């Protein structure tokens, strides 16, 4: 690819991130040229509707509805997909790659589902796909994994990678709001979609974890292999009880590689010590901790979403492609199953954590004996058991149990049995307690 | 440069970082080849003494005392300078560049003093100088500035970039140790040199700030333009008084670019709010916050020193050079005065901060009137004034004064006048209070 002839960029989808990217390319075109020697220029904004583009004052002469015309333009070197979703976006990216265009995308759902297919198609056509903006918004975490940390056999990755969830959990923690109140507040602030399912279910975080953990470990971690628990059933009472114990609640995307090579992954709400390096990450910010065998713990923090932060990441990919730097990494990126082995996943039931378990018991003699007998039967060692006040006058008493390290499967079995006890009022609540990963350097 | 023929690496100086780098290149040679497709190999360990190399079990056949032989070897593509200092290291790097070898260095002192000359020499000879390990140890902060954040006109950079100082300050803060005790502890732990001057004086942080701020702002910030105050005169009493006020003490390397284009820089101990995003960075860890116009606040955290963390950064440069990626950035790096304008520096006396000032007054009528009159005369507005107990029986009372925003020059003038007051017992103490920079996104 000659940079001189193919420095024009087409942005597909002029929404929040597309608009932000177009603005940077228009306003900072000369600044970017000075920094890279590449005369980058935005040539097309492709959409079906230009209301948002007009509202941003983006030049009318860039508006284009005909994608085929854009793909036929030999000056276009990079097509930026910011449509979202996994249908149209997939079709358009495939067309662009087949037309010999490099692609930049922020679409984690698309990559988590179809990354292997798209990367293979890119390689067939001698082009690349930049995806910095797919994980952690403006945080340059993908680059850290493929470039800055290249010397590392990574051991663990822990990320707060969904700003909507982190905002909601911060509201619950700091302001004592219920989940419903905090979600409503997030929606008012424009930080949650009208339909927030993809975020609060944890699925968006799982998309990002599939991408980051494959890249970090050099083993293909399939999306479907990641157990996912969302934040949508969290009760304020447990958030508060955790705080009393010195914990902060976070939705964590976690992946670990054990000494025997097995990998375990999970997305779920966790309690972390309030002094844990990720505990202070609040509001809509994101952060990702990576543990490498040489570098030890490094952490990357920043805005995980939003127009200009995500556009910053998109633009870094555009420039890295136009200078030709990213091409030096793309072909050997250890990310999808076509180039690397599938991860040897630890059976999820065998993963070990500490657990916070809350049950509501009806105050009768012998009930605690029954409860503790079930834990003992399933080989779960109890670290502490505390009676809480639920403020209600219903003869049901919340008991908070903290376990020592226990297997996911054993805890699941114990909970199932517990929930059948006649002395239990409602189902038990279970939240994992994540300890800080210990560096091995 | 053809990668196939020039993939051999020579490490100059087999000390802590050199030994760590050699170990990675020997042990992970195949891993690195898989990740990059470049058959990198360590061919020479150049030193005058191989005791450390032997202790690490590095292969004898790599030991070489004759640098000229190494530079004459056409297979050597990268020479890694890990000797340190600014004399021999400078001579050897110049020789290597003239011999057409790419160079990787962790030497911040050398770059801060001779970076312009060395980069120009590299460009004349068609080679590059990688310097990721010069700032922040294993943290990929240099890459973030030249690649991940490339779309940003950066506004501010705040870094805890000296692990020795941060370890000492953490000991003073958490364990109530005096400066001398904490320094002795750092020396015992191998975290401070026998002669710790370069670290505790703040000069090492200034070297790093000169490099990072030039790169961040695209304006050449000269080392000599950075005001520097070390931690070696800090008293435990002030660290504690700050804690009582909700502050944590950190040695901060700070650079800001104002709306009018002027840049101010400083390295000094500062009080930051205990909830500030850099307050929890403790022990020998480093962290750098960067504020970009598009991305807002991003922060990078990790080990700022040590054998394998620094070797991780060195190795990322080696691989980026051998794949050819770094070459795409090197020629346009906005860092030294030969390519970019000199920074238009704000006159240091005009920089504004809040200040913590402690004076010991002899308890006499009218003394506070005299003190406050001096502040008023110099246009310094006082936010609070608190009498502390110094636990001594000497009729001298410590008074802690917190100012509103005030100019460095005004405060310096006021302190000079204060120190002449006969009611003062000993000189005043002055520590800057750094507020969290507000994003403009």
ipTM of the shown complex:
0.96
Q: State how far the Cα of A262 lies from the Cα of A323, in Å rounded to an integer.
A: 38
Cβ atoms of B316 and B142 closer than 8 Å: no
Check residue B274 and give its pLDDT.
94
Check residue A390 and give its pLDDT.
65
Question: Checking DSSP bridges between strand B129-130 and strand B102-105, what pairing results, if any?
Answer: parallel
**pLDDT score of B198 more than 90:** yes
Check residue A174 and give its pLDDT.
95
Q: Give burial (CB, 10 Å; 0-12/13-18/19+) of B332.
A: middle
pLDDT band at B18 (very low <50, low <70, confident <90, very high): very high
pLDDT digit string, tens, across residues A399-417: 999 999 999 999 999 999 9
- Tell me the chain A residues in contact with residue B148 when contact means C-beta distances shorter than 8 Å: 132, 140, 143-144, 313, 316
Cβ atoms of B310 and B302 closer than 8 Å: no
Q: Could you give the count of Cα atoms lying within 13 Å of B133 in the half-sphere of its Cβ?
A: 32
Cβ atoms of B231 and B200 closer than 8 Å: yes
Check residue B252 and give its pLDDT.
98
Mean pLDDT of the region B215-232: 96
Mean pLDDT of the region A184-205: 93
Check residue B389 and give its pLDDT.
75
pLDDT digit string, tens, across residues B132-188: 999 999 999 999 999 999 999 999 999 999 999 999 999 999 999 999 999 999 999
| Secondary structure string (H, E, C) spanning chain B | CCCCCCCEEEEECCCHHHHHHHHHHHHCHHHHHHHHCCCCEEEEEECCCCHHHHHCCCCHHHEECCHHHHHHCCCEEEEEECCCCCCHHHHHHHHHHHCCCEEEECCHHHHHHHHHHHHHHHHHCCCCEECHHHCCCCCCHHHHHHHHCCCCCEEEEEEECCHHHHHHHHHHHHHCCCHHHHHHHHHHCCCCCCCCHHHHCCHHHHHHHHHHHHHHHCCECCHHHCCECCCCCCCHHHHHHHHHCCEEEEEEEEEEECCCCCEEEEEEEEEEECCCCCCCCCCCEEEEEEEECCCEEEEEEEECCCHHHHHHHHHHHHHHHHHCCCHHHHCCCCCCCCCCCECCECCHHHCEEEEEEEEEEECCCCHHHHHHHHHHHCCCCEEEEEECCCCCCCCEEEEEEEECCEEHHHHHHHHHHHCCCCCECCCCEEEEEECCCCCCC
Q: Which among B43, B208, B257, B407 is annotated as catalytic?
A: B208
Inter-chain residue contact B313 with A218, CB threshold 8 Å: no
Cβ atoms of B318 and B9 closer than 8 Å: yes
Inter-chain residue contact A294 with B329, CB threshold 8 Å: no
CB-CB neighbours of A10 under 10 Å: 25
Structure tokens at B65: 């005392």
Mean pLDDT of the region A260-269: 98
Inter-chain residue contact B302 with A306, CB threshold 8 Å: no
Select from B151, B294, B302 the Cβ nearest to the Cβ of A295.
B302
Select from B140, B150, B324 the Cβ nearest to the Cβ of A316.
B150
Residues in CB range of B253: below 8 A, 6 or more apart: B157, B158, B159, B160, B161, B205, B206, B208, B209, B212, B267
Inter-chain residue contact B308 with A296, CB threshold 8 Å: yes
Mean pLDDT of the region A143-161: 98
Closest CA to B224 of B343, B326, B341: B343
| Dihedral of alpha carbons B404, B165, A141, B129, sign | positive
Report in angstroms the alpha-carbon separations of A172 from A198, A279, A304, A428.
20, 14, 19, 20
Closest CA to B42 of B57, B22, B70, B58: B22
pLDDT band at A193 (very low <50, low <70, confident <90, very high): confident
Q: Which of A421-435, B58-72, B389-403 has the lowest mean pLDDT?
A: B389-403
Q: Which of A289-293, A337-341, B255-259, B398-402 has the lowest mean pLDDT?
A: A337-341
Residue corresponding to tokens 């979609």: A193
Report in angstroms the alpha-carbon separations of B216 from A82, A359, B255, B293, B346.
28, 53, 9, 12, 17
Instruction: Spell out the alpha helix ranges (H) of A103-178.
Output: 108-124, 141-143, 163-175
Rg (C-alpha) for chain A, rounded Å, is 24
Question: Catalytic: B208?
Answer: yes
Check residue A391 and give its pLDDT.
65
Check residue B440 and give its pLDDT.
86
pLDDT band at A4 (very low <50, low <70, confident <90, very high): very low
Q: Which among A208, A219, A257, A407 is annotated as catalytic?
A: A208
Q: State how far the Cα of A351 lies from the Cα of A156, in Å rounded to an integer.
A: 14
Check residue B2 and give its pLDDT.
46
Q: State how far the Cα of B200 lies from the Cα of B183, in Å rounded to an integer.
A: 9
Q: State how far the Cα of A182 lies from the Cα of A178, in Å rounded to an integer.
A: 6
Check residue A363 and give its pLDDT.
81
Structure tokens at A164: 């909507």
Q: Mutate which of A25, A151, A277, A439 to disrupt the B interface (most B C-beta within 10 Å)?
A: A151
Select from A24, A299, A332 the Cβ nearest to the Cβ of B36.
A332
**pLDDT score of B260 more than 90:** yes
Q: Distance from A306 to chain B by nearest Cα, in Å?
A: 9
Q: Which of A18-27, A185-194, B15-24 has the lowest mean pLDDT?
A: A185-194
**First-last CA distance in chain B:** 42
Contacts 24+ apart (CB under 8 A), B110-116: B110/B85, B110/B86, B111/B207, B111/B211, B112/B206, B112/B207, B112/B208, B112/B210, B112/B211, B112/B223, B113/B86, B113/B223, B114/B86, B114/B90, B115/B211, B115/B335, B115/B336, B116/B220, B116/B336, B116/B337, B116/B338
Check residue B338 and give its pLDDT.
78
Count chain A–chain B contacts defined by CB atoms under 8 A: 201
Report in angstroms the alpha-carbon separations of B127 from A161, B4, B328.
39, 16, 11
Q: Which helix (H) or strand (E) holds A205?
A: helix A203-217
The residue length of chain A stands at 441
Question: Checking DSSP bridges between strand A285-292 and strand A154-160, what pairing results, if any?
Answer: antiparallel
**Cα A7–Cα A11–Cα A12 angle in degrees, nearest 5:** 140
Inter-chain residue contact A332 with B296, CB threshold 8 Å: no
pLDDT digit string, tens, across residues A306-348: 999 999 999 999 999 999 999 999 999 988 887 889 999 999 9
Please list the residues that pair with A269 across neighbouring strands.
Answer: A251
| Dihedral of alpha carbons B101, B107, B111, B114, sign | negative
Q: State how far the Cα of B3 lies from the Cα of B222, in Å rounded to an integer.
A: 35
Q: pTM score, two decimals?
A: 0.96
Q: In what order do the strands lie in the sheet with B63-64?
A: B63-64, B41-46, B8-12, B76-81, B102-105, B129-130
Residues in CB range of A386: below 8 A, 6 or more apart: A399, A400
Q: Distance from B296 to chain A by nearest Cα, in Å?
A: 7
Q: State how far the Cα of B287 lies from the Cα of B252, in Å rounded to an integer.
A: 10
Q: Could you give the count of Cα atoms lying within 13 Å of A16 in the half-sphere of its Cβ?
A: 12
Structure tokens at B148: 């991940």
pLDDT digit string, tens, across residues A12-25: 999 999 999 999 99
Could you give the 3-state DSSP secondary structure of residue A173? helix
Mean pLDDT of the region A215-228: 96
Structure tokens at A133: 């903006």
Inter-chain residue contact A324 with B319, CB threshold 8 Å: no
DSSP A350: G
Please list the residues that pair with A228 across neighbouring strands.
Answer: A267
Average pLDDT, rounded, for chain A: 95
Structure tokens at A360: 């509501």
Closest CA to B360 of B229, B241, B201, B228: B241
pLDDT band at B3 (very low <50, low <70, confident <90, very high): very low
Q: Which helix (H) or strand (E) holds A20?
A: helix A16-27
Inter-chain residue contact B277 with A277, CB threshold 8 Å: no
The residue length of chain B stands at 441
Check residue A336 and give its pLDDT.
86
Q: Which helix (H) or strand (E) holds A78?
A: strand A76-81
pLDDT digit string, tens, across residues B284-310: 999 999 999 999 999 999 999 999 999
Helix axes of B16-27 and B307-323: crossing angle, nearest 10 degrees: 60
Check residue B391 and give its pLDDT.
65
Residue corresponding to tokens 């209301």: A51
- Tell me the chain B residues in contact with residue A437 when contact means C-beta distances shorter than 8 Å: none
Helix axes of B16-27 and B29-36: crossing angle, nearest 10 degrees: 70
Structure tokens at B140: 């990929």
**pLDDT score of B373 more than 60:** yes
| Dihedral of alpha carbons B9, B15, B21, B22, sign | positive
Mean pLDDT of the region A382-401: 84
């Amino acid at each position: 690819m000659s940079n001189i002839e193919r420095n024009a960029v087409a942005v597909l989808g002029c929404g929040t991130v597309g608009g932000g990217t177009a603005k940077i390319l228009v306003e900072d075109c000369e600044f970017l040229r000075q920094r890279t020697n590449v005369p980058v220029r935005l040539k097309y904004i492709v959409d079906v509707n230009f209301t948002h583009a007009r509202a941003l004052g983006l030049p009318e002469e860039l508006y284009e509805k005909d994608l085929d015309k854009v793909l036929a333009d030999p000056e276009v070197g990079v097509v930026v997909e910011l449509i979202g979703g996994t249908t149209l976006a997939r079709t358009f990216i495939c067309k662009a790659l087949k037309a010999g265009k490099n692609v930049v995308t922020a679409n984690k759902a698309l990559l988590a589902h179809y990354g292997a297919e798209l990367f293979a198609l890119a390689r067939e056509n001698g082009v690349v796909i930049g995806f910095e903006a797919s994980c952690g918004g403006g945080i340059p975490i993908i680059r850290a994994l493929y470039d800055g940390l290249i010397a590392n056999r990574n051991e663990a990755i822990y990320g707060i990678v969904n700003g909507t969830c982190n905002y909601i959990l911060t509201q619950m923690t700091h302001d004592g709001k219920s989940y419903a109140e905090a979600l409503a507040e997030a929606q008012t602030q424009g930080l949650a979609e009208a339909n927030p399912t993809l975020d609060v279910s944890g699925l968006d975080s799982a998309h990002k974890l599939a991408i980051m953990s494959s890249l970090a470990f050099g083993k293909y971690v399939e999306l479907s292999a990641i157990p996912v628990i969302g934040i949508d059933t969290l009760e304020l009472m447990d958030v508060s009880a955790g705080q009393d114990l010195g914990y902060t609640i976070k939705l964590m995307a976690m992946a670990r590689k054990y000494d025997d090579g097995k990998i375990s992954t999970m997305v779920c709400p966790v309690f972390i010590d309030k002094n844990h390096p990720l505990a202070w990450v609040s509001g809509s910010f994101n952060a990702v901790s990576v543990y490498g065998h040489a570098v030890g713990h490094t952490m990357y923090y920043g805005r995980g979403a939003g127009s200009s932060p995500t556009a910053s990441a998109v633009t870094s990919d555009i420039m890295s492609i136009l200078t030709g730097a990213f091409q030096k990494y793309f072909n050997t990126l250890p990310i999808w199953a076509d180039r690397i082995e599938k991860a040897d996943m630890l059976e999820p039931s065998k993963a070990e954590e500490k657990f916070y378990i809350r049950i509501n018991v009806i105050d009768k003699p012998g009930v605690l004996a029954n409860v503790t007998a079930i834990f003992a039967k399933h080989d779960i060692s109890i670290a502490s058991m505390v009676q809480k006040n639920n403020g209600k006058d219903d003869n049901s008493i919340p008991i908070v149990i903290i376990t020592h390290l226990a297997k996911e499967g054993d805890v699941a079995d114990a909970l199932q049995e517990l929930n059948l006890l006649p002395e239990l009022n409602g189902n038990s609540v279970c939240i994992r307690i994540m300890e800080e990963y210990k560096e091995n350097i």
